[in-house]
Amino acid sequence: MISRRRLLSAAAASPLLAGGFRAVAAEPVPPPGAARPPLKDLAAAKGILYGSCAAAPQLLSPDDFTELLVRECALVVPENEMKWADMMGPGESSDYRLGDKMIDFVTGHGMLFRAHTMLWYWRTPGWFTEIADRGLAEKKMLERVNDMGTRYKGRVYSWDVVNEPLKPDDGRPDALRQSVFLEKVGPQYLDLAYRAARAADPHAKLVVNEYDIEYDTPEQDTKRLALLKLIERMKKDGTPVDAVGVQAHLSVDRLPFSAKKLRTLLADLAAFGVELQVTELDCTDERAPADIKERDRMVADEYRRFLDVALDETAVKVLVTWGVSDRHSWIVRHETNNMKWRTDAEPSRPLPFDAALQPKPAWTAIVQALDHAPKRGAA
């Protein structure tokens, strides 16, 4: 294992290091078959919960991937199965079957369940978007929150109540996204939703989950500030928010990074008394060469410079990668965000294990960052 001192002195010697450890070669990965501790154990030793998202078939049709997931993870997030528009039954009803099976599998295997998500503008049923009456929209929105909260009450570690509530570009002084909930219910929708979620499941940690707050661009500066103001305002008004999720969908060579800005964001959020969670870590490689060794090194460096800062903040109690192996990833499946797809025929390599379930340099970067992380009180 490379020591922190060696890493730091290598970093200091490099001219390329404005934001982190970009020029430091990743430690080789363990060879196939070599004994290695599960990530969840390395994380637990520092008071951190490590986990991943999973799609229903990955749990419910068990294979070698399922074994890896269970071995590595202390916590699992349903990738899509609890999004409102993904669980539509006849009419306005919901189909809970996949969500129920997933939470049964996860808790039955002794893992925690991180529920995602009660309200997300992008995955909202068409019938809701057609409601014209404000009072009815509020009633239906709160029914959704109450429905999910009470159905899984006492079984959920944390709930993403509203996913991605901010969009400063929409031009509102409060920087709230001009989402379907804002349009139909009004800007108070956020506070109403968190209060209803608390009433429905008093023990689940209630999370505000956001993206594009990790890099050093003017747009992300604005969004970071908006997030801080939102959490400050919610706390001041007594709206129950227990945690902030930093999604961390990273990309090689796309945007500048400032360790200082990320560190400041996390410390400022922590000062409001919220838990911090890294909720969807992965890294696209569309700007990296096809050569796998070089590509994996670049992805690992991106993981490393983010995690060296994130895990140094002791309010960060949860680390979730958006998948475990390159075998199953929204990026590899080319599902959304086509500007982050590779333009050659090579599959992307965004996660800590490759498609054959072998650890990659990104795995080593996570292990090293956990090794460096200060120990914190358990979540």
Q: Which residues bind ligand G3I (CB under 6 A)?
A: 79-80, 83, 123, 163, 211, 247, 280, 330, 335-336
Residue 336 tokens, joined: 């959304």
Q: Which is nearer to ligand G3I, 14 or 336 (CB)?
A: 336
User: How far is 44 from 331, CA to CA, in rounded Å?
Assistant: 28
- Closest approach of Cβ 290 to ligand G3I, in Å? 24
- Closest approach of Cβ 124 to ligand G3I, in Å? 11
- Closest approach of Cβ 45 to ligand G3I, in Å? 28
Residue 27 tokens, joined: 């430690």
Residue 247 tokens, joined: 């999604």
- Closest approach of Cβ 244 to ligand G3I, in Å? 14
- Closest approach of Cβ 80 to ligand G3I, in Å? 5
User: How far is 355 from 200, CA to CA, in rounded Å?
Assistant: 39
C-alpha distances (whole Å) from 225 to each of 128, 155, 230 are: 31, 33, 9
Q: Which is nearer to ligand G3I, 123 or 155 (CB)?
A: 123
Bridge partners (DSSP) listed for residue 249: 282
Q: Which is nearer to ligand G3I, 79 or 308 (CB)?
A: 79
CA pseudo-torsion sign 282, 288, 292, 298: negative
- Closest approach of Cβ 77 to ligand G3I, in Å? 9
Q: Which is nearer to ligand G3I, 124 or 239 (CB)?
A: 124
Q: Are residues 261 and 216 in contact, defined by beta-carbon separation less than 8 angstroms?
A: yes
Neighbouring residues of 324: CB distance < 8 A, sequence distance ≥ 6:
52, 65, 68, 69, 72, 73, 351, 352, 353
Residue 213 tokens, joined: 């707050």
Q: Which of 373, 215, 220, 367 has the alpha carbon at shortest distance from 300?
A: 367
- Closest approach of Cβ 196 to ligand G3I, in Å? 21
Q: Which is nearer to ligand G3I, 219 or 291 (CB)?
A: 219
Q: Which of 294, 299, 301, 313 has the alpha carbon at shortest distance from 7?
A: 301
Strands 112-120 and 75-78: parallel
Q: Which of 206, 236, 232 has the alpha carbon at shortest distance from 145?
A: 206
User: How far is 352 from 320, CA to CA, in rounded Å?
Assistant: 11
Q: Which is nearer to ligand G3I, 288 or 331 (CB)?
A: 331
Q: Which is nearer to ligand G3I, 40 or 83 (CB)?
A: 83
Q: Which is nearer to ligand G3I, 149 or 350 (CB)?
A: 350
The residue of the chain with the least Cβ separation from ligand G3I equals: 330
- Closest approach of Cβ 47 to ligand G3I, in Å? 25
Q: Which is nearer to ligand G3I, 11 or 85 (CB)?
A: 85
- Closest approach of Cβ 209 to ligand G3I, in Å? 7
User: How far is 43 from 38, CA to CA, in rounded Å?
Assistant: 9
User: How far is 238 from 236, CA to CA, in rounded Å?
Assistant: 5
